[in-house]
Structure 1
Protein backbone atom coordinates (compact mmCIF):
# COMPACT_ATOMS: atom_id res chain seq x y z
CA UNK A 1 0.00 0.00 0.00
CA UNK A 2 1.45 3.42 -0.93
CA UNK A 3 2.12 5.97 1.78
CA UNK A 4 -0.14 8.99 2.10
CA UNK A 5 2.57 11.15 0.56
CA UNK A 6 2.94 8.82 -2.41
CA UNK A 7 -0.82 8.61 -2.91
CA UNK A 8 -1.18 12.40 -2.94
CA UNK A 9 1.71 12.72 -5.42
CA UNK A 10 0.02 10.18 -7.71
CA UNK A 11 -3.25 12.13 -7.53
CA UNK A 12 -1.54 15.39 -8.43
CA UNK A 13 0.04 13.71 -11.45
CA UNK A 14 -3.31 12.35 -12.59
CA UNK A 15 -4.84 15.80 -12.19
CA UNK A 16 -2.40 17.18 -14.74
CA UNK A 17 -4.14 15.07 -17.39
CA UNK A 18 -7.75 15.14 -16.19
CA UNK A 19 -8.49 18.57 -14.75
CA UNK A 20 -9.22 21.67 -16.86
CA UNK A 21 -6.19 24.01 -16.61
CA UNK A 22 -8.23 26.84 -15.09
CA UNK A 23 -9.40 24.54 -12.27
CA UNK A 24 -6.10 22.83 -11.52
CA UNK A 25 -4.79 25.08 -8.74
CA UNK A 26 -7.93 24.99 -6.60
CA UNK A 27 -8.37 21.26 -7.27
CA UNK A 28 -4.87 20.58 -5.91
CA UNK A 29 -5.64 22.67 -2.82
CA UNK A 30 -8.77 20.60 -2.17
CA UNK A 31 -6.86 17.32 -2.42
CA UNK A 32 -4.20 18.65 -0.06
CA UNK A 33 -6.88 19.22 2.59
CA UNK A 34 -7.18 15.43 2.73
CA UNK A 35 -3.42 14.78 2.73
CA UNK A 36 -3.64 12.88 6.03
CA UNK A 37 -6.83 10.98 5.17
CA UNK A 38 -6.53 7.72 3.25
CA UNK A 39 -10.29 7.45 2.68
CA UNK A 40 -10.49 10.82 0.95
CA UNK A 41 -7.32 10.25 -1.05
CA UNK A 42 -8.66 6.92 -2.28
CA UNK A 43 -11.71 8.72 -3.69
CA UNK A 44 -9.59 11.33 -5.44
CA UNK A 45 -7.36 8.62 -6.88
CA UNK A 46 -10.30 6.58 -8.13
CA UNK A 47 -11.97 9.62 -9.67
CA UNK A 48 -8.93 10.97 -11.51
CA UNK A 49 -7.81 7.51 -12.60
CA UNK A 50 -11.12 7.02 -14.38
CA UNK A 51 -13.11 10.20 -15.00
CA UNK A 52 -16.76 9.05 -14.87
CA UNK A 53 -17.88 11.05 -17.92
CA UNK A 54 -14.66 10.51 -19.84
CA UNK A 55 -14.19 14.29 -19.98
CA UNK A 56 -11.98 16.77 -18.16
CA UNK A 57 -13.51 17.24 -14.73
CA UNK A 58 -12.69 18.24 -11.17
CA UNK A 59 -14.05 17.39 -7.74
CA UNK A 60 -15.24 20.50 -5.91
CA UNK A 61 -16.49 18.99 -2.64
CA UNK A 62 -16.91 15.66 -0.86
CA UNK A 63 -20.06 15.07 1.18
CA UNK A 64 -20.61 12.31 3.72
CA UNK A 65 -23.89 10.51 3.12
CA UNK A 66 -23.46 7.63 5.56
CA UNK A 67 -20.85 5.49 7.30
CA UNK A 68 -20.84 2.03 8.82
CA UNK A 69 -18.18 -0.44 9.96
CA UNK A 70 -15.31 1.65 8.61
CA UNK A 71 -16.96 2.10 5.19
CA UNK A 72 -18.00 5.57 4.01
CA UNK A 73 -20.71 6.39 1.48
CA UNK A 74 -19.48 9.65 -0.03
CA UNK A 75 -20.74 11.87 -2.81
CA UNK A 76 -18.05 13.60 -4.86
CA UNK A 77 -19.54 16.70 -6.43
CA UNK A 78 -17.69 17.57 -9.64
CA UNK A 79 -18.26 20.12 -12.39
CA UNK A 80 -20.01 17.52 -14.55
CA UNK A 81 -22.23 15.76 -11.98
CA UNK A 82 -22.44 14.22 -8.48
CA UNK A 83 -20.80 10.81 -8.13
CA UNK A 84 -21.13 8.12 -5.47
CA UNK A 85 -18.23 6.23 -3.90
CA UNK A 86 -18.02 3.52 -1.27
CA UNK A 87 -14.65 4.14 0.35
CA UNK A 88 -12.46 2.59 3.03
CA UNK A 89 -8.82 2.97 3.98
CA UNK A 90 -8.09 0.22 1.44
CA UNK A 91 -9.90 1.44 -1.67
CA UNK A 92 -12.73 3.48 -3.18
CA UNK A 93 -15.38 1.86 -5.36
CA UNK A 94 -17.32 3.93 -7.89
CA UNK A 95 -21.08 3.32 -7.54
CA UNK A 96 -22.41 5.61 -10.25
CA UNK A 97 -24.07 9.01 -10.29
CA UNK A 98 -26.18 10.40 -7.47
CA UNK A 99 -28.97 11.07 -9.95
CA UNK A 100 -29.16 7.37 -10.84
CA UNK A 101 -28.84 6.19 -7.24
CA UNK A 102 -27.49 2.86 -6.06
CA UNK A 103 -28.55 -0.32 -7.82
CA UNK A 104 -26.42 -2.86 -5.94
CA UNK A 105 -28.67 -4.64 -3.45
CA UNK A 106 -25.74 -5.57 -1.23
CA UNK A 107 -24.71 -1.92 -0.79
CA UNK A 108 -28.30 -0.83 -0.18
CA UNK A 109 -28.76 -3.51 2.47
CA UNK A 110 -25.43 -2.60 4.12
CA UNK A 111 -26.72 0.93 4.72
CA UNK A 112 -30.20 -0.28 5.71
CA UNK A 113 -31.92 0.99 2.57
CA UNK A 114 -34.83 -1.04 1.26
CA UNK A 115 -34.30 -0.25 -2.42
CA UNK A 116 -33.02 2.31 -4.93
CA UNK A 117 -36.12 4.44 -4.53
CA UNK A 118 -35.48 4.68 -0.79
CA UNK A 119 -31.94 5.85 -1.52
CA UNK A 120 -33.11 8.53 -3.95
CA UNK A 121 -35.66 9.81 -1.43
CA UNK A 122 -33.21 9.90 1.48
CA UNK A 123 -30.48 11.73 -0.42
CA UNK A 124 -32.61 14.04 -2.56
CA UNK A 125 -31.31 17.16 -0.77
CA UNK A 126 -27.55 16.75 -1.14
CA UNK A 127 -26.76 20.16 0.39
CA UNK A 128 -28.21 19.01 3.72
CA UNK A 129 -25.43 16.46 4.18
CA UNK A 130 -22.12 17.53 5.75
CA UNK A 131 -18.86 18.07 3.95
CA UNK A 132 -16.69 15.03 4.54
CA UNK A 133 -14.05 15.64 7.20
CA UNK A 134 -10.95 13.40 7.36
CA UNK A 135 -11.96 10.26 9.23
CA UNK A 136 -9.12 10.30 11.77
CA UNK A 137 -10.31 13.68 13.08
CA UNK A 138 -13.59 12.21 14.30
CA UNK A 139 -13.28 11.41 17.99
CA UNK A 140 -15.99 8.74 17.81
CA UNK A 141 -14.13 6.74 15.16
CA UNK A 142 -11.25 4.31 15.56
CA UNK A 143 -8.14 6.17 14.31
CA UNK A 144 -7.02 3.16 12.27
CA UNK A 145 -9.94 1.14 10.89
CA UNK A 146 -12.54 3.94 11.35
CA UNK A 147 -15.33 1.88 12.90
CA UNK A 148 -17.62 3.95 15.09
CA UNK A 149 -17.97 3.85 18.86
CA UNK A 150 -19.61 0.52 19.74
CA UNK A 151 -18.77 -1.22 16.43
CA UNK A 152 -16.45 -4.20 16.02
CA UNK A 153 -13.01 -3.47 14.56
CA UNK A 154 -11.85 -4.68 11.18
CA UNK A 155 -9.83 -7.83 11.87
CA UNK A 156 -6.17 -6.87 12.15
CA UNK A 157 -6.78 -3.36 13.46
CA UNK A 158 -4.05 -2.54 16.05
CA UNK A 159 -6.57 -0.80 18.32
CA UNK A 160 -8.66 -3.94 18.95
CA UNK A 161 -8.39 -5.32 22.49
CA UNK A 162 -7.83 -9.04 23.08
CA UNK A 163 -10.89 -10.53 24.85
CA UNK A 164 -8.70 -13.10 26.61
CA UNK A 165 -5.88 -11.05 28.14
CA UNK A 166 -6.99 -7.44 27.66
CA UNK A 167 -3.87 -6.54 25.70
CA UNK A 168 -3.49 -5.35 22.13
CA UNK A 169 -4.84 -8.15 19.94
CA UNK A 170 -2.24 -7.74 17.21
CA UNK A 171 0.62 -7.84 19.73
CA UNK A 172 -0.39 -10.27 22.49
CA UNK A 173 0.47 -14.01 22.19
CA UNK A 174 -3.09 -15.26 22.76
CA UNK A 175 -3.90 -15.86 19.09
CA UNK A 176 -0.83 -18.05 18.65
CA UNK A 177 -1.41 -19.95 21.90
CA UNK A 178 -5.07 -20.69 21.13
CA UNK A 179 -4.35 -21.84 17.59
CA UNK A 180 -1.15 -23.67 18.48
CA UNK A 181 0.74 -21.75 15.78
CA UNK A 182 3.93 -19.70 15.78
CA UNK A 183 2.54 -17.37 13.12
CA UNK A 184 -0.62 -16.79 11.09
CA UNK A 185 -0.24 -16.76 7.33
CA UNK A 186 -3.19 -18.48 5.64
CA UNK A 187 -6.79 -17.38 5.17
CA UNK A 188 -7.87 -20.58 6.89
CA UNK A 189 -5.93 -19.68 10.03
CA UNK A 190 -7.43 -16.19 10.08
CA UNK A 191 -10.91 -17.63 9.70
CA UNK A 192 -10.21 -20.02 12.57
CA UNK A 193 -9.04 -17.10 14.71
CA UNK A 194 -12.15 -15.11 13.79
CA UNK A 195 -14.35 -18.02 14.84
CA UNK A 196 -12.59 -18.19 18.22
CA UNK A 197 -12.92 -14.43 18.68
CA UNK A 198 -16.62 -14.46 17.86
CA UNK A 199 -17.21 -17.36 20.23
CA UNK A 200 -15.34 -15.59 23.04
CA UNK A 201 -16.95 -12.25 22.21
CA UNK A 202 -14.99 -9.53 20.43
CA UNK A 203 -14.61 -6.22 22.25
CA UNK A 204 -16.11 -3.29 20.32
CA UNK A 205 -14.29 -0.01 19.91
CA UNK A 206 -14.80 2.46 22.76
CA UNK A 207 -14.01 6.06 21.84
CA UNK A 208 -13.73 6.98 25.53
CA UNK A 209 -11.55 4.08 26.67
CA UNK A 210 -9.50 3.04 23.64
CA UNK A 211 -8.78 5.98 21.35
CA UNK A 212 -6.61 8.14 23.67
CA UNK A 213 -4.03 5.37 23.99
CA UNK A 214 -3.21 5.40 20.27
CA UNK A 215 -1.39 8.03 18.18
CA UNK A 216 -3.45 9.89 15.58
CA UNK A 217 -1.02 12.41 14.11
CA UNK A 218 -0.50 12.39 10.32
CA UNK A 219 2.94 10.80 10.61
CA UNK A 220 1.54 8.01 12.74
CA UNK A 221 -0.98 7.21 10.01
CA UNK A 222 1.77 6.42 7.51
CA UNK A 223 2.42 2.67 7.14
CA UNK A 224 5.91 1.59 8.24
CA UNK A 225 8.61 1.52 5.60
CA UNK A 226 10.98 -1.40 5.13
Structure 2
Protein backbone atom coordinates (compact mmCIF):
# COMPACT_ATOMS: atom_id res chain seq x y z
CA UNK A 1 0.00 0.00 0.00
CA UNK A 2 1.38 3.47 -0.86
CA UNK A 3 2.38 5.80 1.96
CA UNK A 4 0.22 8.77 2.85
CA UNK A 5 2.66 11.10 1.12
CA UNK A 6 2.52 9.01 -2.05
CA UNK A 7 -1.27 9.02 -1.95
CA UNK A 8 -1.27 12.79 -1.56
CA UNK A 9 1.02 13.20 -4.57
CA UNK A 10 -1.20 10.92 -6.67
CA UNK A 11 -4.35 12.80 -5.67
CA UNK A 12 -2.83 16.17 -6.56
CA UNK A 13 -1.89 14.81 -9.98
CA UNK A 14 -5.43 13.56 -10.56
CA UNK A 15 -6.81 16.93 -9.49
CA UNK A 16 -4.92 18.67 -12.28
CA UNK A 17 -7.33 17.01 -14.73
CA UNK A 18 -10.48 16.93 -12.59
CA UNK A 19 -10.74 20.28 -10.81
CA UNK A 20 -11.68 23.55 -12.53
CA UNK A 21 -8.54 25.74 -12.67
CA UNK A 22 -10.23 28.49 -10.68
CA UNK A 23 -10.92 26.05 -7.82
CA UNK A 24 -7.62 24.18 -7.83
CA UNK A 25 -5.84 26.15 -5.10
CA UNK A 26 -8.78 25.86 -2.68
CA UNK A 27 -9.33 22.19 -3.50
CA UNK A 28 -5.65 21.42 -3.00
CA UNK A 29 -5.61 23.18 0.37
CA UNK A 30 -8.62 21.13 1.45
CA UNK A 31 -6.92 17.86 0.51
CA UNK A 32 -3.69 18.89 2.25
CA UNK A 33 -5.69 19.61 5.40
CA UNK A 34 -6.48 15.88 5.46
CA UNK A 35 -3.03 14.82 4.33
CA UNK A 36 -2.29 12.67 7.39
CA UNK A 37 -5.63 10.85 7.33
CA UNK A 38 -5.85 7.63 5.32
CA UNK A 39 -9.67 7.51 5.44
CA UNK A 40 -10.23 10.82 3.70
CA UNK A 41 -7.30 10.32 1.30
CA UNK A 42 -8.92 7.11 0.06
CA UNK A 43 -12.11 9.07 -0.63
CA UNK A 44 -10.28 11.85 -2.46
CA UNK A 45 -8.43 9.30 -4.58
CA UNK A 46 -11.62 7.41 -5.42
CA UNK A 47 -13.50 10.59 -6.31
CA UNK A 48 -10.86 12.21 -8.49
CA UNK A 49 -9.97 8.89 -10.16
CA UNK A 50 -13.46 8.08 -11.38
CA UNK A 51 -14.89 11.40 -12.50
CA UNK A 52 -16.32 10.95 -16.01
CA UNK A 53 -14.03 12.31 -18.71
CA UNK A 54 -14.70 15.96 -19.37
CA UNK A 55 -16.50 16.53 -16.05
CA UNK A 56 -14.84 18.91 -13.60
CA UNK A 57 -15.84 18.89 -9.94
CA UNK A 58 -14.36 19.53 -6.49
CA UNK A 59 -14.90 18.06 -3.03
CA UNK A 60 -15.60 20.98 -0.72
CA UNK A 61 -16.61 19.19 2.49
CA UNK A 62 -16.72 15.80 4.18
CA UNK A 63 -19.41 15.00 6.74
CA UNK A 64 -19.54 12.05 9.10
CA UNK A 65 -22.85 10.21 8.93
CA UNK A 66 -22.03 6.97 10.75
CA UNK A 67 -19.04 5.21 12.27
CA UNK A 68 -18.78 1.61 13.42
CA UNK A 69 -15.92 -0.85 13.94
CA UNK A 70 -13.39 1.24 12.05
CA UNK A 71 -15.72 1.80 9.10
CA UNK A 72 -16.94 5.30 8.24
CA UNK A 73 -20.02 6.32 6.28
CA UNK A 74 -19.12 9.73 4.90
CA UNK A 75 -20.78 12.23 2.62
CA UNK A 76 -18.52 14.10 0.21
CA UNK A 77 -20.14 17.37 -0.81
CA UNK A 78 -18.94 18.82 -4.11
CA UNK A 79 -19.75 21.84 -6.23
CA UNK A 80 -22.28 19.68 -8.10
CA UNK A 81 -23.78 17.19 -5.64
CA UNK A 82 -23.41 15.08 -2.47
CA UNK A 83 -21.97 11.56 -2.64
CA UNK A 84 -21.82 8.65 -0.20
CA UNK A 85 -18.64 6.72 0.55
CA UNK A 86 -17.90 3.75 2.76
CA UNK A 87 -14.32 4.13 3.97
CA UNK A 88 -11.74 2.51 6.22
CA UNK A 89 -8.03 3.01 6.73
CA UNK A 90 -7.54 0.52 3.87
CA UNK A 91 -9.94 1.66 1.13
CA UNK A 92 -12.98 3.70 0.10
CA UNK A 93 -16.04 2.48 -1.79
CA UNK A 94 -18.40 4.77 -3.70
CA UNK A 95 -22.04 4.07 -2.76
CA UNK A 96 -23.78 6.63 -4.95
CA UNK A 97 -25.47 10.03 -4.66
CA UNK A 98 -26.83 10.94 -1.23
CA UNK A 99 -30.20 11.77 -2.79
CA UNK A 100 -30.61 8.14 -3.90
CA UNK A 101 -29.78 6.70 -0.49
CA UNK A 102 -28.22 3.30 0.16
CA UNK A 103 -29.53 0.26 -1.67
CA UNK A 104 -27.13 -2.38 -0.32
CA UNK A 105 -28.81 -4.30 2.50
CA UNK A 106 -25.45 -5.35 3.92
CA UNK A 107 -24.43 -1.72 4.44
CA UNK A 108 -27.82 -0.76 5.87
CA UNK A 109 -27.72 -3.67 8.32
CA UNK A 110 -24.15 -2.89 9.35
CA UNK A 111 -25.18 0.60 10.45
CA UNK A 112 -28.47 -0.62 11.95
CA UNK A 113 -30.63 1.13 9.36
CA UNK A 114 -33.92 -0.62 8.65
CA UNK A 115 -34.10 0.15 4.93
CA UNK A 116 -33.36 2.75 2.25
CA UNK A 117 -36.38 4.82 3.25
CA UNK A 118 -35.16 4.97 6.85
CA UNK A 119 -31.78 6.16 5.60
CA UNK A 120 -33.30 8.92 3.46
CA UNK A 121 -35.46 10.09 6.36
CA UNK A 122 -32.54 10.16 8.80
CA UNK A 123 -30.23 12.11 6.50
CA UNK A 124 -32.67 14.65 5.09
CA UNK A 125 -30.86 17.52 6.81
CA UNK A 126 -27.21 16.98 5.91
CA UNK A 127 -26.11 20.17 7.69
CA UNK A 128 -27.09 18.65 11.04
CA UNK A 129 -24.27 16.09 10.80
CA UNK A 130 -20.73 16.97 11.88
CA UNK A 131 -17.93 17.89 9.55
CA UNK A 132 -15.53 14.96 9.37
CA UNK A 133 -12.42 15.34 11.50
CA UNK A 134 -9.43 13.15 10.55
CA UNK A 135 -9.78 9.87 12.39
CA UNK A 136 -6.35 9.93 14.06
CA UNK A 137 -7.28 13.17 15.84
CA UNK A 138 -10.11 11.44 17.69
CA UNK A 139 -8.58 10.27 20.95
CA UNK A 140 -11.37 7.74 21.47
CA UNK A 141 -10.32 5.89 18.30
CA UNK A 142 -7.45 3.53 17.61
CA UNK A 143 -4.81 5.47 15.68
CA UNK A 144 -4.49 2.70 13.10
CA UNK A 145 -7.69 0.71 12.48
CA UNK A 146 -10.01 3.40 13.92
CA UNK A 147 -12.20 1.20 16.11
CA UNK A 148 -13.60 2.93 19.16
CA UNK A 149 -13.66 2.05 22.87
CA UNK A 150 -14.87 -1.49 23.48
CA UNK A 151 -14.58 -2.60 19.85
CA UNK A 152 -12.21 -5.31 18.64
CA UNK A 153 -9.28 -4.24 16.48
CA UNK A 154 -9.12 -5.17 12.82
CA UNK A 155 -6.94 -8.28 12.59
CA UNK A 156 -3.39 -7.15 11.87
CA UNK A 157 -3.72 -3.78 13.59
CA UNK A 158 -0.37 -2.95 15.26
CA UNK A 159 -2.16 -1.60 18.34
CA UNK A 160 -3.88 -4.88 19.25
CA UNK A 161 -2.66 -6.41 22.51
CA UNK A 162 -1.80 -10.11 22.55
CA UNK A 163 -4.18 -11.92 24.95
CA UNK A 164 -1.48 -14.47 25.82
CA UNK A 165 1.58 -12.37 26.66
CA UNK A 166 0.23 -8.82 26.85
CA UNK A 167 2.64 -7.59 24.20
CA UNK A 168 1.97 -6.23 20.73
CA UNK A 169 0.15 -8.96 18.79
CA UNK A 170 1.84 -8.17 15.48
CA UNK A 171 5.31 -8.23 17.08
CA UNK A 172 5.28 -11.01 19.68
CA UNK A 173 5.96 -14.66 18.83
CA UNK A 174 2.80 -16.11 20.37
CA UNK A 175 0.95 -16.57 17.08
CA UNK A 176 3.84 -18.54 15.58
CA UNK A 177 4.28 -20.68 18.69
CA UNK A 178 0.59 -21.54 18.94
CA UNK A 179 0.29 -22.44 15.26
CA UNK A 180 3.69 -24.12 15.07
CA UNK A 181 4.67 -21.98 12.08
CA UNK A 182 7.65 -19.79 11.28
CA UNK A 183 5.38 -17.35 9.45
CA UNK A 184 1.74 -16.95 8.44
CA UNK A 185 1.26 -16.82 4.69
CA UNK A 186 -2.15 -18.29 3.90
CA UNK A 187 -5.76 -17.31 4.47
CA UNK A 188 -6.31 -20.60 6.26
CA UNK A 189 -3.56 -19.85 8.77
CA UNK A 190 -5.05 -16.43 9.49
CA UNK A 191 -8.46 -17.99 10.01
CA UNK A 192 -6.91 -20.51 12.40
CA UNK A 193 -5.22 -17.68 14.30
CA UNK A 194 -8.48 -15.75 14.46
CA UNK A 195 -10.25 -18.80 15.89
CA UNK A 196 -7.57 -19.13 18.59
CA UNK A 197 -7.80 -15.43 19.40
CA UNK A 198 -11.57 -15.56 19.72
CA UNK A 199 -11.36 -18.65 21.92
CA UNK A 200 -8.79 -17.00 24.19
CA UNK A 201 -10.66 -13.69 24.19
CA UNK A 202 -9.37 -10.73 22.19
CA UNK A 203 -8.56 -7.52 24.02
CA UNK A 204 -10.93 -4.74 22.91
CA UNK A 205 -9.53 -1.29 22.24
CA UNK A 206 -9.31 1.05 25.22
CA UNK A 207 -8.30 4.64 24.48
CA UNK A 208 -7.10 5.17 28.04
CA UNK A 209 -5.10 1.95 28.20
CA UNK A 210 -3.83 1.43 24.66
CA UNK A 211 -3.60 4.64 22.69
CA UNK A 212 -0.75 6.40 24.58
CA UNK A 213 1.50 3.37 24.02
CA UNK A 214 1.57 3.81 20.24
CA UNK A 215 2.44 6.57 17.75
CA UNK A 216 -0.24 9.19 17.36
CA UNK A 217 -0.51 8.87 13.59
CA UNK A 218 0.32 6.27 10.94
CA UNK A 219 2.98 8.68 9.65
CA UNK A 220 5.18 7.55 12.53
CA UNK A 221 5.46 4.15 10.86
CA UNK A 222 6.61 5.47 7.48
- TM-score normalized by the length of structure 2: 0.97
Describe how 1:21-100 pairs up with structure 2 within 5 A.
21-51=21-51, 55-100=55-100
- C-alpha RMSD over aligned residues: 1.3
Contact 2:35 2:41 survives alignment (8 Å): yes
Counterpart Cα distance in 2 of 1:93 and 1:219: 23
Provide runs of 4+ in structure 1 moved above 6 Å. none
Question: What is the DSSP-based 3-state SS (H/G/I as helix, E as strand, rest coil) of the residue aligned with 1:35?
Answer: coil
Partner of 2:11: 11
Listed one character per residue, the Cα deviations across residues 76-127 of structure 1 (whole Å, up to 9, x for unaligned) are 0001100000011111100000000000000000101010011111111100
Distance 1:40 1:52, change over 3 A: farther
Listed one character per residue, the Cα deviations across residues 119-142 of structure 1 (whole Å, up to 9, x for unaligned) are 111111100111111100000000
Counterpart Cα distance in 2 of 1:168 and 1:89: 20
Q: For structure 2, which runs of at least 5 residues remain unmatched after alignment? A: none
Contact 1:37 1:136 survives alignment (8 Å): yes
Q: For structure 1, which runs of at least 5 residues remain unmatched after alignment? A: none
Partner of 1:133: 133
Partner of 1:115: 115
Post-superposition shift, 1:221?
Answer: 4.9
Contact 1:36 1:221 survives alignment (8 Å): no
Counterpart Cα distance in 2 of 1:46 and 1:169: 31
Partner of 1:190: 190
Counterpart Cα distance in 1 of 2:184 and 2:54: 44
Q: Does 1:179 align with 2:179?
A: yes
Question: What is the DSSP-based 3-state SS (H/G/I as helix, E as strand, rest coil) of the residue aligned with 2:7?
Answer: helix
